Structure 1
Amino acid sequence: MAPLIALVAGFAVARLAGLLGIGALDAWQPALRVGLAVMFVVTASAHFVPKLRADLVAMVPPGLPRPELLVTVTGVLELAGAVGLLIPATAPWAAVALALLMVAMFPANVSAARRGVPFGGRPATPLVPRTIEQIFLVALAVAAALP
């Protein structure tokens, strides 16, 4: 839920800034990129907070090697993508890369849902809501990449 709140709040603040004439945020797409960047900073931070990191490591499908390294790498990629979204020249590429990253990480979400892996002290999210949220976020990243 925190990632969606961060996304909506980031988008809303960016749109408000745009409406007030601050920066180049006077259109929905730059504001969407800001919202996505805020969301990815929030999700990436979980990769480095000890308790949440342990939950993410537990989400990695059992057959994959070095789950700790995978969690670190995906956290760094999310942070790099968030920065890329804020640079106009790299924003479309960053958005595509983040969409692909979310697709690549989706099997971990499926595995976690099927194994009932909790996150952040909350019960595991069932597969259907997880899938719907993932489709929504990938679609937003694709929209952020459009010319």
Structure 2
Amino acid sequence: MAEGADPERDPRWDAVRAAARHRVPTPPGLVERVLRAVARGRRTAVEVPGEAGGLRVAEGVVDRLARTIAADRAPFGVRISAVAVEGGVVQVLVSVRFGLIADAAAEALRREIAAGLSRHLGIAAVVNVHVVDVHPG
């Protein structure tokens, strides 16, 4: 497809339209878990061990840091839809531009967020990135 061309006129877009007519199941319980994490106000904390003792970081802080890293480091064509932390696991929902390899884009973002959280907090965070939509560009 030529640069600047309307992706919706690309004949490959017909495959996306056909796929859009079929419901793709969201992983069981994902939306509910994300919404519950948002609603409860992130009352739990993530334990960060240190040489001089442990540190408790509120999940809201981890969530905000993960959002910032995701926004700054998302590959071109990846839009962040939602970020939530539940039980110390960062869940990220994204939309990818038509034509991108969704799995590769999600994995690249997952690595960036995990590395950023490790740099800032000193812990190996579990990060899951879920592609939930495709956008034309």
Same structural fold, with TM-score higher than 0.5 when normalized by the shorter chain: no
Judging by fraction of residues, say which structure has more helix: 1
TM-score, normalised via structure 1 length? 0.29
The structure with more radius of gyration: 2
Judging by fraction of residues, say which structure has more strand: 2
